[in-house]
Amino acid sequence: MNRKFMAWSLVFTMLVSTWFATAVAPDTVAAAAGTNLALGKAVTASGQSQTYSPNHINDNNPGTYWESANHAFPQWVTVDLGTSQNINKVILKLPASWELRTQTLAIQGSNDGSNFSDIVASASYLFNPLASGNTVTIEFNTTSTRYLRLHFTANTVWPAAQLSELEIYGPDITEPEPPIPPVGSNLSIGKPITASSSTFTYVAANANDQNINTYWEGGANPSSLTLDLGANHDITSIVLKLNPSSEWSTRTQTIQVLGHNQNTTSFSNLVSAQPYTFNPASGNSVTIPVTATVKRLQLNITANTGASAGQIAEFEVYGAAAHNPDLTITNMSWTPSTPSETNPITLRATVQNIGSAASTATTVHFYLNNTLAGTAPVGALAPGASITVSADAGTKASGSYSVSAIVDETNQNIELNKENNRYAHSVPLAVNPVESADLIGTVNWTPGNPVAGNAVTFNVSLKNQGNKATTSGPHSITVVLKDAAGATLRSLTGSHNGVIAAGASVNVPITGSWTAVNGSYNVTTTVAPDANELPVKRENNVSSTNLSVYSSRGASMPYKRYDSEDAARGGGAVVYAAPTFDQALTASEASGQRYIGLPSNGSYLQWQVRQGEGGAGVTMRFTMPDSSNGMGLNGSLDAYVNGTKVKTIPLTSYYNWQYFSSDHPSDEPGGGRPLFRFDEVHFKLDTPLKPGDLIRIQKSGADNLEYGVDFIEIEPVPTAIPRPANSVAVTDFGAIANDGQDDLQAFQAAVTAAVSSGKTLYIPEGTFHLGNMWTIGSVSNMIDDITIMGAGIWHTNLQFTNPNAASGGISLRVKGKLDFSHVYLNSNLRSRYNQNAVYKGFMDNFGKNSKVHNVWVEHFECGFWVGDYAHTPAIIADGLIIENSRIRNNLADGVNFAQGTSNSTVRNSSVRNNGDDGLAVWTSNVNGAPVGVNNTFSYNTIENNWRAAAIAFFGGSGHKATHNLIVDTVGGSAIRMNTVFPGYHFQNNTGIVFSDTTIINSGTSKDLYNGERGAIDLEASNDAIRNVTFTNIDILNTQRSAIQFGYGGGFQNVVFNNININGTGLDGVTSSRFTTPHPGAAIYTYTGNGSATFNNLTLQNIAHPNVHFVQPGFNLTIQ
């Protein structure tokens, strides 16, 4: 077809094609006898033009098509039916909106794929969009063939063969007898279910939620749906359902049923693939008889006439449990029955096997107040047998304790029912107090939030929480301050003389002070035992807490940076720079617009580790070329220490390189100007770097790629955090680190166990692979409280392996408090899917007063998207804290507080190289979400944003952005506010504050719309921006204008205090999207509506000859 249509013709084509796919195609298929045998079958062709693949001819989408090589007749396309089939009809289609044409072709068949003969001799066929919707039907005598080929010799419109859909039919087949209705209850309810892929919100969990109105849909065929019954079941049938509403058209899905029992992990065929028709007129339900003993069932769907992948609303399974043990605890007791704090306690539990098979040896875990108090072994038990076991719980402090036990918590047995393994005693254990003093010290420091350089002093609140007065003393206290590596920095002491009555507290000043330095510290307080304090009361005399010291602006991180400009270089290494921020140059995205290229073997750059620095952890920011298809290239560089090679560093450009011709990026070269040309990799050295060491990064491989290095960061690697007491681990449920297998099922089971037992969920050292989105809670069954922690960001790695939309990241459905920490997260996502990726590091419901801290999140659509789109009204996140984290190299926002998120904070975090706003508050109002208020971004370093802004507020009230450092925002602003996006704006804002912030190398003359943006950019697009204060802001080396006001919505009560602007117009560009040409100004407006007041404005090196460029009508007051 002539592809050079005008824009209106293309729009018409898409509309008609879309209508034809949904309205016409099903009717056409319904009119043909039998089933379209071509669906899901392998296709080959003599060749193709551009991206017009032969696979389009049986993708069930009339809008896509195959086109052969041009000017090269004859051409052919072949479908392999898999086995010889009786056929008597083919239907050929082109997109319904294409103009009239005639193609000359023969229909040929073969049973070996090599020797073809004519089934229908060559003839000319008219494709008429008006008369037949560009469809040609060719009928012939029934013949048997495996391979069917169309052999083209002419096309009257285009010099190539063209075909949108090839449908193949055989003689009518007698419909099978309807199956016997299933007997028994649906075994799939509440069972874990996963999918190979999913589309948008049509996730696997929808397929067994007992709601016919929700459904799963795969990302592409083949697609699979896997159900875990937990233990062997003797099944008789499965029932697959779609919504019976008339809105669903009749469709046929080709489905294979597979399964395996509890003793294996490999799936075997249970029912071979065959087409099944889902018809709303008959309930849109299919019953498949299956006789097997299985633990897991899988549906493998290879074709669907109604969509591009499998669709299931309900996956029901019928049958009965097979023989298995069933362990339960029938009774618990303890001795002594009324212990005091000095009496050792023995806990007992009676375990019975009420199942139908013998159990293997296992363990009982005893809990007091849901904290592990002891364990006891349990031997193998025959069906009906029982045994009483005991554990020594030691002495306990006075109080009331809930008593519970769990048998086989580590899943040594596959059981008929795992829900009855826990026993909770109806009567609490009461421990009587002893007569004793009980001293506890709580340390405080001044100032409460110290910044670097502050003199920090300490005091301790010393309380006697016992029932007896202390002696007269002295009561000595020691406060020890240690750094992140465990080295002691200060040991300070204090003392109190005098009796402390029972229940009384005294304040004890600690002698000495400490000068604060950026970082995180541990403060340990030790109170000397008192003579009236019994040994059982002395365990709490030692306590620890964390102390964080922030830099005055920006994040305090444990690493030290080594920039390329500080490196020695050699072997042909090259300096690349972009002093005018020219986005055509890769260096425009480098820190300081400068990096070192390593074009040939032996080229290198090298640094000497500075005094007081070093460590085993290294992060490197690098660039390397993309591939021609946008999927990236692989390569490596080598690391040397003191001349010895210590590491080969694998590198890839799979994740980066996005291309822009508008605000929707393309993933392939040719899609527009490139951005996101740098990425990062981090690695551990076997031997930590120490001061004076030389670390070299060198190109040594055999490839012909040129690499670039922006900087490295070096830091100590803390020891791995061990598994805490009172926890479950993902490895308890089958997850295996570093094995390359999907651990998602184990992670889901671990969440269930942690929630039911009230324990911490621990993820140990190693890399765990997750094949789809990790859902923590569900829309209909949200979690109250949960704590999840890893072994540390250098030790616990979560790798989401599925690159498809909505197929990775963590979906939180928490209504209570979440604490998530000490984990590194990465994914295989590399596309925003036209802003429909639905693939965030963390997203959905974050609960109340939750905390996510010490995490490293990169290569997702967004790091965090805090917003509920599943409930009406939306459930907001309130009091969320994200801190001490690294949020980097994501395709869109670093953090977005949306959907009413309020009273929430991001602090002391590194936010780097993200492809939309680094930190944002979007006051969206989807599903009735309220306006978001009182959010804070403080003590963060936001760098290398290549789109939008580092910090953005789009509405609401009471927000603050303070003590931040913003550097190198190549394609956008440092700070922006606008009233562009839907939702709430600033109508009810009583005050928003930006303060104590440094902005370097920000603003642009070339945003994605080829317009200028200020380092601070205020855009009142639809209504006014009001009641905003900027105080103590330094704006340095701005690409264009420092502060920019635009559009006609108005500006009211916008005040700037103590503003320092040094350098504007550094890019040298004067063209303007909004006004007459102009160089960079200190203050620039392209609106005449509004006002702003500046108090104490300091200016240097302003490019604009008039300093400010203000349109008539805008009231600018400088005083």
85-132 confidence digits (pLDDT tens): 999 999 999 988 788 899 999 999 999 999 999 999 999 999 888 778
Distances (CA, A) of 694 to 567, 608, 689: 10, 4, 9
- End residue of a domain, out of 123, 154, 169: 169
Radius of gyration of the chain from its Cα atoms, rounded to whole angstroms = 34
| Statement: residue 10 has pLDDT above 80 | no
Q: Tell me the CB-side half-sphere exposure of residue 942, using CA atoms within 13 A.
A: 39
Q: pLDDT, tens digit, for every residue of 325-348?
A: 999 999 999 999 999 999 999 999
Range with lowest mean pLDDT among 363-377, 873-887, 889-903, 1057-1071: 363-377
Better pLDDT: 882 or 193: 882
Domain annotation covers residue 410: yes
Clarify whether residues 348 and 298 are in a common domain: no
Kindly state the average pLDDT of the residues 124-152: 91
What global pTM score does this model have?
Answer: 0.69
Q: pLDDT, tens digit, for every residue of 720-748?
A: 999 998 899 999 888 999 998 999 989 99
Distances (CA, A) of 747 to 646, 733, 737, 857, 1030: 35, 8, 12, 18, 46
Q: pLDDT, tens digit, for every residue of 434-478?
A: 999 999 999 999 998 888 899 999 999 999 999 999 999 899 999
Place of tokens 């005083």: 1119
Place of tokens 């990236």: 632
| Band (24; pLDDT cuts 50, 70, 90) | very low
Confidence (pLDDT) at 8? 29
Distance of CA 966 to the CA centre of its chain: 24
Distances (CA, A) of 888 to 652, 825, 945, 953, 1001: 16, 11, 10, 20, 19
- End residue of a domain, out of 398, 431, 464: 431
Clarify whether residues 266 and 239 are in a common domain: yes
**Beta strand spans in 358-474 (E):** 362-368, 371-378, 386-394, 399-401, 403-407, 422-424, 429-431, 439-446, 455-464
| Band (984; pLDDT cuts 50, 70, 90) | very high
Kindly state the average pLDDT of the residues 631-657: 96
Clarify whether residues 703 and 598 are in a common domain: yes
Domain annotation covers residue 336: yes
Domain annotation covers residue 567: yes
Confidence (pLDDT) at 22? 32
Q: Which two tokens stand for residue 688?
A: 């930590």
- End residue of a domain, out of 904, 932, 955: 904
- Ranked by mean pLDDT, the top range of 4-8, 40-44, 428-432, 485-489 is 428-432
| Amino acid residing at 242 | L
Clarify whether residues 299 and 373 are in a common domain: no
Looking up residue 638, the CATH number of its domain turns out to be 2.60.120.260
| Statement: residue 163 has pLDDT above 50 | yes
Helix residue spans in 244-300 (DSSP H): none
| Statement: residue 232 has pLDDT above 50 | yes
Domain annotation covers residue 1050: no
| Band (52; pLDDT cuts 50, 70, 90) | confident
Clarify whether residues 150 and 12 are in a common domain: yes
Domain annotation covers residue 937: no
Please, are residues 994 and 1033 in contact by the beta-carbon 8 Å criterion?
A: yes
Q: pLDDT, tens digit, for every residue of 371-389?
A: 889 999 999 999 999 999 9
Clarify whether residues 512 and 659 are in a common domain: no
Confidence (pLDDT) at 6? 29
Kindly state the average pLDDT of the residues 574-594: 97
Kindly state the average pLDDT of the residues 936-942: 98
Domain annotation covers residue 943: no
Domain annotation covers residue 917: no
**Beta strand spans in 336-427 (E):** 345-353, 362-368, 371-378, 386-394, 399-401, 403-407, 422-424
Kindly state the average pLDDT of the residues 548-565: 92
Q: Which two tokens stand for residue 534?
A: 């019994």
Q: Which two tokens stand for residue 287?
A: 């019953």
| Statement: residue 11 has pLDDT above 80 | no
3 state SS of 362: strand
Confidence (pLDDT) at 205? 87
**Ramachandran bin of 559, using left for φ above 0, alpha for ψ from -120 to 50, beta for the remaining angles:** beta
Clarify whether residues 612 and 761 are in a common domain: no
Clarify whether residues 786 and 872 are in a common domain: yes
Clarify whether residues 239 and 140 are in a common domain: no
Domain annotation covers residue 830: yes
Distance of CA 713 to the CA centre of its chain: 24
Confidence (pLDDT) at 181? 52
* Nearest C-alpha neighbor of 89 from the set 138, 122, 136: 138
Please, are residues 1002 and 978 in contact by the beta-carbon 8 Å criterion?
A: no
Report the alpha-carbon distance of residue 88 to residue 37 in Å, rounded.
Answer: 11
Q: pLDDT, tens digit, for every residue of 1070-1088?
A: 999 999 999 999 999 999 9
Report the alpha-carbon distance of residue 1036 to residue 967 in Å, rounded.
Answer: 10
Please, are residues 404 and 374 in contact by the beta-carbon 8 Å criterion?
A: no
Confidence (pLDDT) at 31? 32
| Band (21; pLDDT cuts 50, 70, 90) | very low
Confidence (pLDDT) at 470? 97
Clarify whether residues 524 and 566 are in a common domain: no
Map 896-911 to HEC letters: EECCCCECCEEECCEE
CB neighbour list of residue 358: distance below 8 Å, 6 or more residues apart:
325, 380, 381, 382, 383
Confidence (pLDDT) at 203? 84
Clarify whether residues 92 and 139 are in a common domain: yes
Clarify whether residues 488 and 564 are in a common domain: no
Please, are residues 368 and 403 in contact by the beta-carbon 8 Å criterion?
A: yes
| Band (960; pLDDT cuts 50, 70, 90) | very high
Confidence (pLDDT) at 172? 65
Kindly state the average pLDDT of the residues 589-595: 97
604-608/694-698 β-pairing: antiparallel
Range with lowest mean pLDDT among 186-195, 438-447, 882-891, 1006-1015: 186-195
| Statement: residue 696 has pLDDT above 70 | yes
Looking up residue 513, the CATH number of its domain turns out to be 2.60.40.10
| Statement: residue 12 has pLDDT above 70 | no
Q: pLDDT, tens digit, for every residue of 1034-1045?
A: 999 999 999 999
**Beta strand spans in 586-706 (E):** 594-598, 604-608, 615-623, 634-641, 644-652, 658-660, 673-675, 679-689, 694-698
Kindly state the average pLDDT of the residues 768-794: 96
**What residue numbers bound the domain in which 490 lies?**
441-549
Count of structural domains, the chain: 6
